[in-house]
Amino acid sequence: MKRVGILGGTFDPPHIGHLIIAEEVYHQLDLDEVWFLPSNQPPHKSGATVDNQNRLEMVKAAIAGNPHFSVSDIELQREGKSYTYDTIKQLKQLNPDIEFYFIIGGDMVEYLPKWHEIKKLMEMTQFVGVKRSGYQLNSPYPVEEVEMPIIEVSSTMIRKRLGQGREIRYLTADGVIDYIKEHQLYEA
Ligand SMILES: Nc1ncnc2c1ncn2[C@@H]1O[C@H](COP(=O)(O)OP(=O)(O)OP(=O)(O)O)[C@@H](O)[C@H]1O
Ligand SMILES: O=C(O)c1ccc[n+]([C@@H]2O[C@H](COP(=O)([O-])O)[C@@H](O)[C@H]2O)c1
């Protein structure tokens, strides 16, 4: 069976936290690939500040040059909230020969009990958790922890900085910064 990690997110915008956790999990779990999965509507928070097309393009720019990273637009094709249960069900139907590992940060690990159809979802995919500052990795559900340095970067931090006209160099990939500047995203 091929082993594929999935990093679902809003990616508003993508940043080095996303890239580092995907790369670490890829190596530590000896995965074949990691797919970045931008959501249409995040189930638990208010929507993205930037439209689907721009977020998809930013993810493509972020992962450019990494041969084991790719992007899936499967959630962007679906209307409404992007419940992971629906997505994994669809992905498994389309790829019966792939075992999926769903990668989440500490904030999402704490929130797992509230996920849609979480019991069924737990039987369909292995969750992989990485620490995030301010959150525990404790969960009533089995989550495989992957150790790595805590990275205190978030999309919120980047949006805030850009809104203040501050620099974001090294907080995300250069291609993402170029895309943001070219399309005048996140300006005050
Ligand atoms: N710095 C980080 N360390 C560990 N996990 C992270 C980090 N940033 C994001 N993640 C995880 O990546 C996934 C997608 O995150 P998302 O795209 O919502 O970014 P975010 O930085 O949390 O965004 P926002 O600040 O807008 O809430 C989530 O599972 C989240 O926990
Ligand atoms: O399915 C759910 O109920 C659910 C609840 C919260 C988050 N998720 C998924 O977890 C991933 C990270 O969420 P977010 O909001 O940090 O972008 C993303 O793929 C979401 O669709 C899924």
Query: Which tens digits make up the pLDDT trace of 51-102?
Result: 999 999 999 999 999 999 999 999 999 999 999 999 999 999 999 999 999 9
Task: Tell me the pLDDT tens digit for each residue of 117-168.
Answer: 999 999 999 999 999 999 989 899 999 999 999 999 999 999 999 999 999 9
Q: Is the CB–ligand 1 distance for residue 18 below 6 Å?
A: yes
Q: How far apart are alpha carbons 170 and 70 in whole angstroms?
A: 21
pTM: 0.98
Model ipTM over 0.90:
yes
Smallest-distance ligand from the CA of 76: 2
Question: Furthest-apart CA pair in the chain: how many Å?
Answer: 48
CB within 6 Å of ligand 2 — which residues? 8-10, 37, 39, 42-45, 82-85, 108, 111, 115-116
User: In terms of DSSP H, where are the helices of the chain?
Assistant: 16-28, 52-63, 84-94, 106-111, 118-124, 155-163, 174-182
pLDDT at 136: 85
Measured CA to CA in angstroms, residue 156 lies from 15, 63, 112, 159, 162 at distances of: 10, 20, 21, 5, 10
Between the alpha carbon of residue 85 and those of residues 30, 107, 174, the distances in Å are 24, 18, 33
What pLDDT, on the 0 to 100 scale, is given for residue 44?
Answer: 87
pLDDT for res 188: 81
Spatial separation of the C-alpha atoms in residues 25 and 104, rounded to whole Å: 10
- What is the structure's pLDDT at 86? 98
Choosing from 6, 44, 89 the residue with most ligand 2 atoms within 8 A of its CB, the one to mutate for a pocket test is 44
* Nearest CA residue ID for atom 4, ligand 2: 115
Q: CA Rg, the chain, in Å?
A: 16
